[in-house]
Amino acid sequence: MQSLTSKIYKNTFTETFEGDETGNLTPRQTPGVLYSKALPSPVAAPRLLAWSDELATTLGVQKPETPEDVAVLAGNYVTPTMHPYAACYAGHQFGHWAGQLGDGRAITLGEWEAPDKRLWEFQLKGAGPTPYSRRADGRAVLRSSLREYLMSEAMHYLGVPTTRALSLVATGDQVMRDMFYDGRPEYEPGAIVMRVAPSFLRFGNFEMLAARQETEHLKQLVDWTISRFYPHIQGENKVLQWFQEVVDRTATLIVEWQRVGFVHGVMNTDNMSILGLTIDYGPFSFVDEYDLNFTPNTTDLPGRRYAFGKQASIAYWNLGCLANALVPLFDGTEELVKAIESFSDTYWERYYLMLASKLGLDHVRPEDIPMFDQLEKFLDTVKPDMTIFFQELIDLAEATEPIAPLAHFSRSFYREPDPVERNILQEFIESYRQRFASNTCSKEESLARMRETSPRFIPRNYLLHQAIEDLQKGDSKLFDRLQEAIKEPYSNKFDEFFLKRPDWASNKAGCSMLSCSS
């Protein structure tokens, strides 16, 4: 285990690519470079609020024991071997080309080499302005930082590909935010998250170089990305093979989101990881009631571009944007188009496999698809609590005596189903019972699959909101409890949280809807 201050950091990205080394933080366009040097801005009184012991053990990082260690996590101290920078990238936001964006409130300090020799980028979110902050201050508030810290780690334990969070630090500064962009800004306590990932490269890094017609830089970035993160891909056709794997990883990622009921909320191309990770936690949410049209992002209204049921189609659209950026590296577009078009088959194949696991089926049979459709019709019509419904389905499958479906699932209902909806449920249950009985695997194997794919605990927005409010009052009990619960989402050890969203949270700011500043 090594301390944050004594570690010799690596800086392969800044040593490989051209950057603006002036350290000038004035917002501006930065053509010809892939990053700009950006030193974090000091904060008043850094205080460690949370530390991921498990992640630290994996990385070989010693828990902060000195003020200097905490200062690293707050951006108040940069060690001699760090080379802090903000990456330059572009993106399509809500379907429209936004041009240069870049790390506006994220600063990568350097790369940490773990005991297994893997390199991890250490990045501070909320550490002050960069050349890409535009009109913003580069800071983050406790509200959004606590949400990102908990959700990054929660998604890891849920088994969803994600960036990680090593620490959460209170800054002692007040930050002004207009939470819903409605002209009512307020001061909120500031905080900084240390984010960790093999890379924070996103689709937008490649889009930026293509848009500026910096083809040599584009080729260099693609080659470096393949050699560094996809070393198994070799040969003359490696760029196409790499893109195909990005397509496959992205399809898998979206299936995993749908499995646990996660809604990203702002799937712009600059928020899409080139490694197939969940990246940039902002106005995210889990679905409470199952609603394909649900979006947690106020900025996404009224069109609901990034709604729960649209995430696969948006991922497909975003991959098209990435493919367009790669066109200069190909003689034609036929192979790229073919790779993109494979997304649909890959997604649905893996989606049906996922559903089969949630239902405890041995495998997917062609005749299962109508039953899947029947289930989803009921879910999207009645809109039961998704997490509770699938837990009750496990109990139904485990039962040895007949159970009346309506009464059995009533705990998951936010409203009473009407007669037509009851019939839909009854028809599904009858089909399901017959299909479950025909499994070629044992009942124990079926139940194990169901328990492994349907979480019993999810960090619901209202729980996060309560934890934020309590922490701002000096009470960390709920926050501490949630930190434990996220580590065992498939167990029943935290059943005090196995509840539907309460009525008071349905329309409360920060619980039902959030903004891009959340």
Show me where the domains of the chain are located: 12-200, 204-356, 461-497
pLDDT of residue 146: 97
pLDDT of residue 44: 97
Average pLDDT over residues 15-41: 97
Average per-residue pLDDT for the chain? 95
User: Residue 339 contacts by C-beta under 8 Å, 6 or more apart in sequence?
Assistant: 240, 243, 244, 247, 323
- The pLDDT tens digits for 372-403 are 999 999 999 999 999 999 999 999 999 988 88
CB 518 within 8 A of CB 181: no
DSSP character string of 281-321: -SS-EE-SB--TT---BGGGTTTTTT-GGGHHHHHHHHHHH
**Nearest Cα to Cα of residue 92 among 314, 256, 241:** 314
Residue 516: is its pLDDT beyond 70?
no
- The pLDDT tens digits for 105-159 are 999 999 999 999 999 999 999 999 999 999 889 999 999 999 999 999 999 999 9
pLDDT band at 467, cuts 50/70/90?
A: very high
Alpha carbon distance 311, 377 (integer Å): 18
Q: Give the pair of three-digit tokens for residue 123.
A: 């990045």
Beta bridge mates, 262: 286
pLDDT of residue 180: 63
Residue 57: is its pLDDT beyond 80?
yes
Provide the CB-side half-sphere exposure for 332 (13 A, CA). 3
- Identify the helix (H) or strand (E) that includes residue 370: helix 368-382
Q: Whole-model pTM?
A: 0.96
Alpha carbon distance 140, 144 (integer Å): 7
Q: Sign of the CA dihedral 11, 243, 205, 122?
A: negative
CB 383 within 8 A of CB 289: yes
CB 103 within 8 A of CB 111: no
User: Residue 19 contacts by C-beta under 8 Å, 6 or more apart in sequence?
Assistant: 33, 34, 35, 36, 37, 85
Alpha carbon distance 133, 358 (integer Å): 43
pLDDT of residue 517: 56
User: Which residues carry out catalysis?
Assistant: 270
Q: Terminal CA-to-CA distance of the chain, rounded, Å?
A: 34
- The pLDDT tens digits for 202-223 are 999 999 999 999 999 999 999 9
Q: Give the pair of three-digit tokens for residue 167.
A: 């620490």
